[in-house]
Amino acid sequence: MKVPTALGARFPRFRRPKDGGSSGVTAPVRADRRTKNLTKRLRPGDIAVIDHTDLDRVSAEALVECGVSAVLNVASGISGRYPNLGPQMIVEAGIPLVDEVDPEVFARVREGEVLHLEDGRLTRGDETVAQGVVQDAESVAAAMDEARAGLSVQLEAFAANTMEYLKRERELLFDGVGVPRIATRIEDRHVLIVVRGYHYREDIAALRSYIREYRPVMIGVDGGADALMEAGYRPDVIVGDFDSVSDRVLGCGAELVVHAYRDGRAPGLKRLTDLGHEAVVFPATGTSEDVAMMLADDCGAQLIVAVGTHATLEEFLDKGRAGMASTFLTRLRVGGKLVDAKGVSRLYRSRISPWSLLALVAASLLTILVAAWSSPVGQVFLANAGARWDAFLYWLTGLFS
């Protein structure tokens, strides 16, 4: 998707902290230009080397959850396009962050090699392997303030991308042309779409009562399928390019829908074929979460509940310019059917507490006893029950006499 030339303008980068604080760490180093791939290999205590311009919140959360001891970023963590929250999360977690590291670091380090990081210098003995700019809370906050000035440019890009995407996908958006048929029955049912995005674990936990009562069709978007399995649920449908779904989840019996490019190329299909799985192909320009929403809507879903998806301007920007327009227009297409999981958890909350249930049971038993005591039939029943109790006590006493 083309972007206005104004986006190519240079924005101020991180400024160097005044104190240049020490970040002495000696640990194994693991490097990958794709943060998503690296988090699959990271172990607690590792030094992570990434190449991630405008480090987004989801990627930062994944790095923090992996328990890394430091993060070295070859790119600029905050380029100035918009105030992304990834670097701030890394710093607030107490993890040393080094920005704009020498790109040759990927060729100079070996997977799992133990190296030392201090004051932005990664060393092997006395040899400097790579060096960058150490970031702290003050420098990140300053970069965030400067980046907020770039939001107006991003809004212009958003408008341009929206028009371009609308021209390209108007038949799909308005008429559903190209949406494949699937075997899973969705018509007139609730659908839960899970993306491994913002606060997905908390949202799934908050929806347990809703899931138990409504039994929605569960659609996992790539890693969202693993998130469902981790929470104890089996996805009914898995949608995506299948670059972040585990083999175990792919074999759970869910129907598989491969998100393909508009020209029909589907890189994820080869993996499924090699594993012996059949799949349905859905060509579309948007993101996989957009494909899942359009699929559920076109199949007649009564309500679509979204977990971990992108909803705010900040989240659209975090996903990147190419994905912003498709998500925005898809949400307009789905309309009133779409509900964010946080809204469901706030609206749908059981009003009956455990103490209320106990009080109800106690009141019911008391009512039964009063009714039995006040009726002739009840008195006969109570007399019979009393006689049986006396017989039991006589038998029990005889065992010890």
Q: Note the pLDDT tens digit of each residue in 218-250.
A: 999 998 999 999 999 999 999 998 988 999 999
CB 14 within 8 A of CB 86: no
**pLDDT in the model for residue 348:** 55
386, containing H or E segment: helix 376-398
SS3 150: helix
**Is pLDDT above 60 for 155?**
yes
What is the pLDDT confidence band of residue 266, given thresholds at 50, 70 and 90? confident
- Mean pLDDT of the chain, nearest integer: 81
- Cα pseudo-dihedral 218, 224, 229, 233, rounded to 10: -20
The separation between CA 366 and the C-alpha centre of its own chain, rounded to angstroms, equals 49
Q: Residue with structure tokens 């699959």?
A: 40
**What mean pLDDT is predicted for residues 3-22?**
40
Cα gap 41→48, rounded to integer Å = 10
CB 123 within 8 A of CB 2: no
Reported as a single tens digit per residue, the pLDDT across 172-205 is 665 555 688 999 999 999 999 999 877 788 889 8
What is the pLDDT confidence band of residue 150, given thresholds at 50, 70 and 90? low
CB 87 within 8 A of CB 135: yes
Q: Residue with structure tokens 């083309």?
A: 2
Q: Is the entire prediction scored with pTM above 0.85?
A: no
Cα gap 72→131, rounded to integer Å = 9
**pLDDT in the model for residue 191:** 96
Read off the amino acid at residue 158: F
Q: How many other CB atoms are found less than 10 A from the CB of residue 146? A: 16
